[in-house]
Amino acid sequence: WTRRPRLLLAPLLLAPADLNFENPRVHTALLKVIDFWFALGVDGLRLDAVPYLYEAEGTNCENLPATHEFLRKLRAHIDAKFSDRMLLAEANQWPEDAVAYFGKDGDECHMCFHFPVMPRMFMALQMEDRFPIIDILEQTPAIPENCQWGMF
């Protein structure tokens, strides 16, 4: 990795960009980009690999508190300016971990992909039994009323 601590943490080929979320200027720029797209009429944004926005030495850089702080800031910004738009978290994790991306009171993402359902559907078809789907849904924690799992 080539470290460019002002704005960007980048691999040698400079793609994909790894934004330095520790820098407040990155937040400002990102909010401007989001405002641009929402002003054009985009209904929502998928936040790819959202558990890894921040990095911290000595951790696996997954599900860090700073990520949730940023998501609450992002959600407040969107709710204030574009209350009819949505954020979809792409957190490829078990439901008990991914549920955190809704926020405690639904103040982070509006939706979160429920990744374990998809392979369970294939498993149920192969087994000709609904158990794999029922099993994962029973393991799925409750979410705030203003949120929704994205199942595929």
35, 43, 62, 90: the active-site residue: 90
Is 96 among the residues known to form the active site?
no
Confidence of residue 15 (pLDDT cuts 50, 70, 90): low
pLDDT confidence of residue 8: 52
How would you label 97-126 residue by residue, b for 16+ Cβ within 10 Å and e otherwise?
Answer: ebbbbbbeeebbbbbbbbbbbeebbeebee
Please give the model's pTM, rounded to 2 decimal places.
0.85
Is 48 among the residues known to form the active site?
yes
48, 79, 96, 129: the active-site residue: 48
**DSSP class of 76:** H
- Tell me if 95 sits within 8 A of 140, measured CB to CB: yes
Report the pLDDT averaged over residues 9-24: 71
In angstroms, the CA 108 to CA 114 distance is 16
Residue-wise pLDDT for 96-134, tens only, equals: 999 999 999 999 999 999 999 999 999 999 999 999 999
Q: How many helices (H) and strands (E) does the chain have?
A: 5, 7
Confidence of residue 6 (pLDDT cuts 50, 70, 90): low
pLDDT confidence of residue 1: 46
In a 3-state reduction of DSSP, which class is residue 18?
strand
